[in-house]
Structure 1
Amino acid sequence: MRNPLAFIAERWTPTQRTVQQAALISLVMTCVIVVTGGAVRLTGSGLGCPTWPKCTDESLTATSEMGFHGVIEFGNRMLTYVLCAAVGWAIITMRSQKPWRRSLTRYGWAQFWLVMGNAVLGGIVVLVGLNPYTVAAHFLLSTALIAVATATWQRTREGDDKPRPLVGKAVAQLVWALTGVTVLLIAVGTVVTGAGPHAGDSSDVPRMNVGAVGLDWEGVTKLHAVLAWIVVTLTFALWFVLKAVDAPRGPLNRTRDLFLILLAQGLIGYVQYFSDLPEVLVGAHMLGSCLVWIGVVRVLLSLRERPHATVDVPRPVSSDQLTSA
């Protein structure tokens, strides 16, 4: 039996723009499903469909008796299929591109398997009654998916030559430190969520605790804020260093974009904290978390360039050369 992707690739060649758009769509859909997943939790619809993979023991879909919460939860589940379609379309375009870039296709398949793994983990979240640790793992796996989707989008806009660094080793180390602190910031953010008041369901869902003692939500929130300020400081320091060493526009622009996103995210974070966590602002903060992570990954990827491979084309033979021969 022939590989369906190879069959399509023989008969269709997408434009470079089509491949880039497909990668961008999969990235956008990844962020959409993260935000809608947050909406499920913030509306108390986390157990709107009380089982998995079916919505109830008797029905695959939400029923009218389940009301608003069933619609929200089942709708989020359906968006997983939309995300799969977006990733599938990206894989098809990458496989059909001429010449075929195997490394790029592998990025697409990495997204697919992360989506499948997160779908299974999402089912486990429901089956264990929204245990906050599984909810945190669900979000962190989505964060990994966003990183791969961002890298895929970047790879569609560059070649396959060996990467060439655009900055020195010291600058690269600063960016890796920024990336590491951002990962820690996001991880602590899941603890803030897991110990906070938005349990995800109308019933009493246990919150994160240490042994029999609940976590100090105020203390964890302050730690989250401290880490956020460290990320902001590192980003500003990076921008200053890049200006001092006269770095190319790519890293400078990506660092500037990240700094602006961080300022907006920080403003939302403080407003939601001092206004008793209104659901709309918490949802906006989740979107901001996605954008911050995308911004950091783009800064990291901007430190090198991958030119398109050059192909040596034989020079045409002139008529004089033919005559002399």
Structure 2
Amino acid sequence: MHKAGAYDVPVPKLPEIARNPLAFIAARWTPNPVTVRRAALAALAMSVVIVITGGAVRLTASGLGCPTWPTCSGDSLLGTREMGIHHAIEISNRMLTYVLCAAVGWAIIAIRAMEPRRTGLYRLAWAQFWVVVGNAVWGGLTVLTKLNPYVVSLHFLLSAALITVAVLTWQRVGEGDASPRPLVGKAVRQLGQVMGAATVVLIVVGTLVTGAGPHPGDSSAAHKVQRIHVDWRTIAQLHADFAWVVVGLSVALWFVLRAVDAPAGPQRRSTELFLVLMGQGVIGYVQYFTHLPAALVDLHMFGACLVWIATLRVLLSFRERPSAEPGRVPAAASAEGVGVREAGVRDAAGGAGRQPVDAARVPLADQGGDPLSVRR
């Protein structure tokens, strides 16, 4: 048995900030709801920015500006100025990944420090971080495979996954933690789901247009970048066909929401989606008939991000999540608060209180109402 001796020295205890920095911050700082929502929005904005700059890397033929990964060249992490403009563009995009990590990290810290603590939202914020890490590793794989078009396509789809998680986080910040409550009927939700699925197919086919198009990502004579062996115009036509399918579904949804007198939130979101689709369609046709100029292609990628965000917002507007605590309204809810009016939330004498739910909000199964809407 070991006996304490004169030479025994107690192991120093790590400071609290080193053991659990997030808990340390949360114990000393409680952000206001606006700060948390802005942090989540910043993470979403950076998720879109990284797509635009990644597109610029390919469209300027800078995809192999750093020929290796995780270093840039040999043992050098950043490379040298002598490597030229393509290197500068590629390394700048790599450095922006750290800015994206900082934005996501800020969202994680702000959400962890919220009162009361929201475990589900906190996990969703961390999911953003891990998607960023996974996509960064996949981005390295695009370099190691010398810009294989299928690997590049999946790189963009992982960026779309990041945007999805970021939108969900931003939305959930302004909601409560109760179970979702539908604002529209089952048939309307199913129509929205079909439109969402069609939008996913539209985005996937769009990545194939990129893989077959005239912008391989590297123009050096030392290496010929592999392309998808199909006429890009054929794939572009298929992409346009799916675009019209999505537009048609969005118009149908717009009319149905008004026909069933849906809440203002879903109607407004469907209008926004239609306008974004129209703008994206104009850009798409102009770039096609002008033979895919780099600037318009990158703008079209930005438009694809907006289309997906607008689609997600439509789907999320079909339900509300009030606070699980009776009488408490989520403090971070935005001014437009999807479903707030319909839930009977009012602000009187400076205090928010939840009024009894109207009978029209009782589930359809209990009232035998209109299968398209939960409202009368």
Query: Into which bin does the TM-score normalised by the smaller protein fall?
Result: over 0.9
Q: Deviations 1:44-97 (Å, cap 9, x if unpaired)?
A: 000000101111003111311111100000000000000000000000000000
Which residue among 280, 283, 286 is the counterpart of 1:271? 286
| CA distance in 1: counterparts of 2:90 and 2:47, whole angstroms | 17
1:225 match: 240
Bigger share in helix: 1
For residues 283-322 of structure 1, the aligned pairs below 5 Å read: 283-311=298-326
Query: Which of the numbers 166, 169, 174 marks the counterpart of 2:186?
Result: 169
Instruction: Give the whole-Å Cα distance in 1 for the aligned partners of 2:59 and 2:48.
Output: 17
CA distance in 2, matches of 1:194, 1:279: 14
The residue identity in structure 2 corresponding to 1:76 is: N
- Equivalent position SS for 1:177: helix
Amino acid at match of 2:162: L
Which residue does the alignment assign to 1:207?
Answer: 227
**Paired residues, what number?**
308
1:17-66 Cα deviation digits (max 9, x unpaired):
00000000000000000000000000000000010111100311131111
**Residue 280, structure 1, aligned to residue 300, structure 2:** no
2:28 equivalent among 11, 21, 24: 11
Counterpart residue number, 2:10: none
Counterpart residue identity of residue 92, structure 2: G
Partner of 2:100: 83
Residue matched to 1:136: 153
1-structure distance, mates of 2:38, 2:327: 29
Q: Which of 30, 41, 46 is equivalent to 2:58?
A: 41
Cα-to-partner distance string for 1:102-142 (whole Å, 9 max, x where unaligned) = 01111111100000000000001001100001000100000
Give the C-alpha shift of residue 219 in structure 1.
Answer: 1.3
Deviation string, structure 1 residues 271-324 (Cα, Å, up to 9, x no partner): 0000011111001000000000000001111000011233479xxxxxxxxxxx
The whole-number CA distance in structure 1 between the counterparts of 2:50 and 2:256 is 36
- In structure 1, what is the Cα distance between the partners aligned to 2:242 and 2:57? 27
**1:65 partnered with 2:50:** no
Partner of 2:118: 101
2:81 and 2:91 mapped to 1: Cα distance?
12
Asked whether 1:181 is paired with 2:201, we answer no
Unaligned runs of 5+ in 2: 1-13, 329-376
Which letter does structure 2 place at the counterpart of 1:253? Answer: R
Q: Deviations over 1:210-242 (max 9, x none)?
A: xxxx21322111100000000001001000000
Q: Supply the distance in 1 between the matched residues of 2:285 and 2:119 (Cα, whole angstroms).
A: 45
Is residue 258 of structure 1 aligned with residue 278 of structure 2? Answer: no
Residue 317 of structure 1 corresponds to which residue in structure 2?
Answer: none
**How far, CA to CA, are the matches of 2:181 and 2:174 in structure 1?**
15
Match of 2:6 in 1: none
Q: 2:140 aligns with which of 98, 118, 123?
A: 123
Q: Could you tell me how far apart the structure 2 residues matched to 1:297 and 1:272 are? A: 26
Query: SS of the residue aligned with 1:130?
Result: coil
Q: Secondary structure at the match of 2:84?
A: helix
Distance in 1, Cα, partners of 2:155 & 2:252: 32
Cα distance in 2 between the residues matched to 1:137 and 1:299? 25
Query: C-alpha separation between the residues in 2 aligned to 1:3 and 1:103?
Result: 19
Give the TM-score taking structure 2 as reference length: 0.81
- Which amino acid in structure 1 is aligned with residue 97 of structure 2? T
Distance across 1 between alignment mates of 2:318 and 2:124: 20
Percent of matched pairs sharing the same residue: 64
Deviation at 1:150, TM superposition (A): 0.5
Mind listing any 5+ residue stretches in structure 1 that lack a counterpart?
209-213, 314-325
Q: CA RMSD in A?
A: 1.1
The answer to whether the aligner puts 1:110 opposite 2:127 as a matched pair is yes
Whose Rg is larger?
2
